Amino acid sequence: MIETDVTVIGGGPAGLASALKAAEKSNVLLLERGNELGGILPQCIHEGFGNFIFNKMLTGPEYAQYYINEIINSKIILKTNTTVLSIDPNKNIVATNSTDGIIRIKSKSIILAMGCRERTRSQILLPGTRPAGIYTAGTAQHLINIDGYMPGKNIIILGSGNVGLIMARRFSLEGANVIGVYEIMPNAGGLTRNIVQCLDDYNIPLFLSHTITNIVGEKRVEGVNVAKVDEYFKPILETERHIPCDCLILSIGLIPEIELCKNINIKIDNITKGIIVDNKMESSFPGIFACGNIVHVYDLVDDVTYSAEIAGKNAGNYIDFERGEIEEIKVIPGRNVSYVVPQIIKNKDCNTIKLYLRVIKEERNVNIILKDGNTPIFQKKERIVKPPEMLRINLSKQLIESISNNELNIDIRCVNE
Amino acid sequence: MNNDITCIICPLGCKIHIEEENNDFTFSGNICSKGEKYSILEIKNPIRIVTTTVFVDNDNHRLLPVRSKKGIHKDLVLKCIVELSKIKVKTPIKCGDIIYENILGTGVNIIASRDSSNI
Ligand code: SF4
């Protein structure tokens, strides 16, 4: 039995930053399933990380290296190659690895930092045969950037999320022929910067409102059928055409990896599919905190680190006691708001709070309006809002203290409405 | 010369058309002056940070991620990567160490993106 103050599950950017912050005041145990730290960062060899925290554009491995060095120089107890099997309602953790066997851990607080997983073919019911040559974008990224293998020569990419776009460029630079990126939505899923620097720079075409209707091939992918879709995302049969290729890359979204929470009563958000948190990054289960992509999928690792530091600080300070009734303000997504994180504000005596929100559809010249119940209390203008670009709102201490209802409603409305 | 540029400075992503006459630029499509600055740079000297991997000996992995210390003209990116695919580096290496000096005569160094043999 190991006894500790804080156990952090997951050694990616969220786990690293939260462990370091918690270790300023407490004993910390960090558990990582893989054989190295950094989560997805070591394979994200492109630049674009750390613009806010380090004030420069770093690559993924560089960003990770900073935190890995800090962890090595700290007194945090680190166990890699260690899989957590369960968490019970008394916050007892059971984990395993090949040297310790079964490890039982008693810890005062827990930080969930397991990140997210890529969606696969079966989650979008992609029809066709099941040949070799179909990979998720992240798996292809690992093969090329870590293992040094090329997954194919003639590549089709389904989905225009950021990982898919980054991989389109990477495949081109490694000598493959990227035939095109096909996106079912009428708008690209990734950031404009990536459309320009990953597709336009390499003359890779992007087909919007298109999907794959069939995968063809026995042993190896021989091609796919693609078709335009109508406004209800149904393929238009007359537009279907066959495109030969030997590799299909799926970049069709990420979902928080919450399997470990199944045995404990932790509330999950229907939209983000991640853990519901309050402004201290505490879940609905007292003493269990969450940060990073297990809460919702962030655009920037810098924001993951910020959320992790909040979780780490509060998990480090956590004291178990009967809390009685705590006043709670629910943050509720309204018109053209898909979700808001944190979903709950507790303890109005906190400092500023950063709200993250994503919109449902693209709109121009809008106001983001915050309402205390029904009374508008804050308004921020945006020239454009789009689903791939997360919006941030900083709530001042004063504003938070002024809220008198137990609901904070957020709407996005066109300026002239 | 490609005179149509998508500005990446803010989420609006304006499509800017730029014309040059004797170092005088005229723009259409952009909303703000940041876009003008960006499109001039994209016309005159479009640079990108080059990122790739090189082979490495005696490390936990076969590959070491590297990047250019500064931006390199985008037409040279592929050449740089081909050049870097020919080398093999030896450990120990620290994040930031120079892996390849003055690549293709650009004056830009290629540096390591991580320490060798990370845990
Ligand atoms: S031109 Fe100005 S408004 Fe348009 S995308 Fe660039 S920075 Fe944004």
Strand, coil or helix: A387: coil
In chain B, where the domains are located:
2-44, 51-118
Contacts of B50 (CB under 8 A, 6+ apart): B67, B68, B72, B77, B80, B81, B103, B110
Rounded Cα distance, A378 and A400, in Å? 11
Summarised one tens digit per residue, pLDDT across range A227-275 is 999 999 999 999 999 999 999 999 999 999 999 998 898 999 999 999 9
Mutational test site, ligand 1, from B4, B6, B8, B9, max ligand atoms within 8 Å of CB: B9
Q: What is the ipTM of this complex?
A: 0.92
* CB nearest to B113's CB, from A61, A147, A383: A61
Classify domain A120-252 at the CATH topology level.
Answer: FAD/NAD(P)-binding domain (3.50.50)
Residue A384 confidence (pLDDT): 92
Q: Domain A1-117+254-320 belongs to what architecture?
A: 3-Layer(bba) Sandwich (3.50)
Q: Rounded to the nearest whole angstrom, what is the distance from the C-alpha of residue A162 to the centroid of ligand 1?
A: 21
Q: How far is CA A117 from the centre of its chain?
A: 9
- Cβ <8 Å between A173 and B77: yes
Mutational test site, ligand 1, from B14, B18, B27, max ligand atoms within 8 Å of CB: B14
- Cβ <8 Å between A145 and B63: yes
Q: Rounded to the nearest whole angstrom, what is the distance from the C-alpha of residue A49 to the centroid of ligand 1?
A: 22
Point out which residues pair with A49 in neighbouring strands: A58
B3 or A13, greater pLDDT: A13
Where do we find the tokens 């670009």?
A389
Q: Which atom of ligand 1 is nearest to the CA of B16?
A: 1
- Cβ <8 Å between B118 and A80: no
Q: Does A365 touch chain B (CB under 8 A)?
A: no
Residue A281 confidence (pLDDT): 96
Q: Any idea how long chain A is? A: 417
Q: Residue A319 carries which side chain, given as an amino acid letter?
A: I
Q: Rounded to the nearest whole angstrom, what is the distance from the C-alpha of residue B20 to the centroid of ligand 1?
A: 19
Rounded Cα distance, A345 and A325, in Å? 14
Q: Is B8 in the pocket of ligand 1 (CB under 6 A)?
A: no
Contact list, A68 vs chain B (CB under 8 Å)? 118-119
- Cβ <8 Å between A192 and B13: yes
Average pLDDT, stretch B95-110? 97
Summarised one tens digit per residue, pLDDT across range B8-61 is 988 888 999 988 888 888 888 877 889 999 999 998 899 999 999 999 998 989
Residue A174 confidence (pLDDT): 96
**Which positions of chain A have pLDDT values less than 50?**
none
Q: Which residue of A has its CA nearest to B63?
A: A146
Q: Rounded to the nearest whole angstrom, what is the distance from the C-alpha of residue A206 to the centroid of ligand 1?
A: 22
Residue B31 confidence (pLDDT): 75
CATH (one of 3.40.50, 2.50.20, 1.10.10, 2.60.40) for A328-417: 2.60.40
Q: Name the residue among A280, A278, A273, A309 with its Cα closest to residue A294.
A: A273
In chain A, where the domains are located:
1-117+254-320, 120-252, 328-417
What share of chain B in percent tops pLDDT 90? 61
Classify domain B51-118 at the CATH topology level.
Answer: CPE0013-like fold (3.10.530)
Average pLDDT, stretch B76-105? 96
Q: Does A64 touch chain B (CB under 8 A)?
A: yes
CB A210 within 8 Å of CB A228: yes
Contact list, A167 vs chain B (CB under 8 Å)? none
Q: Which residue of B has its CA nearest to A198?
A: B48
Q: Rounded to the nearest whole angstrom, what is the distance from the C-alpha of residue A114 to the centroid of ligand 1?
A: 36
A63/chain B closest Cα distance in angstroms:
9
| pLDDT of B119 above 60 | no
Q: Is A252 exposed, middle or buried (0-12, 13-18, 19+ CB in 10 A)?
A: buried
Q: Does A302 touch chain B (CB under 8 A)?
A: no
